[in-house]
Amino acid sequence: MEIWINPACSKCRSAVQLLDAEGASYTVRRYLDDVPSEDEIRAVLDRLGLEPWDITRMQEAEAKELGVKEWARDAGARERWIAALAAHPKLIQRPIITADDGTAVVARTDDAVRDALSR
């Protein structure tokens, strides 16, 4: 199990605390320092069953500068979104847990963290 976090994020810290409390075995990835490649983002999206715009933090200053709210949200625009997430990792929703069964979850709630633990 791996968790992508930003240590400055309260939801990330809460998720890590819950993983620790449950005695989970996991690896921390500080994704702002160890930026995921486009291929890694594609893999996580597949595991999540989501599209890149579903995990994009639209309120970030970088998102506003790029104008991502106006970008198309279809198969033809998918690679543009993935490239933007790789180039601007602050835009990636957090925390993301990749579960042992090959799935993943955006773990913004305790229930989502527990869901990942149960997989």
Mean pLDDT of the chain: 96
9 given a catalytic annotation: yes
The answer to whether residue 23 scores a pLDDT higher than 90 is: yes
Give the tens place of pLDDT for each residue, 42-88.
999 999 999 999 999 999 999 999 999 999 999 999 999 999 999 99
pLDDT at residue 91 greater than cutoff 90? yes
User: Stretch 105-111: mean pLDDT, rounded?
Assistant: 96
Q: What is the model's pLDDT at position 82? A: 98
How far is 60 from 71, CA to CA, in rounded Å? 15
- Alpha carbon distance 90, 111 (integer Å): 24
Categorise residue 49: left if φ over 0, alpha if ψ from -120 to 50, beta otherwise: left
Task: Return the pLDDT at 2.
Answer: 96
Q: Which two tokens stand for residue 63?
A: 């998102």
Single pTM value for the model: 0.93
pLDDT grade for 11, boundaries at 50, 70 and 90:
very high
User: Among residues 95, 93, 94, 4, which one has the least CA distance to residue 53?
Assistant: 93
- Looking at residue 100, its pLDDT comes to 85
- What 3-state DSSP class applies to 104? strand
Question: Which among 9, 24, 48, 50 is annotated as catalytic?
Answer: 9
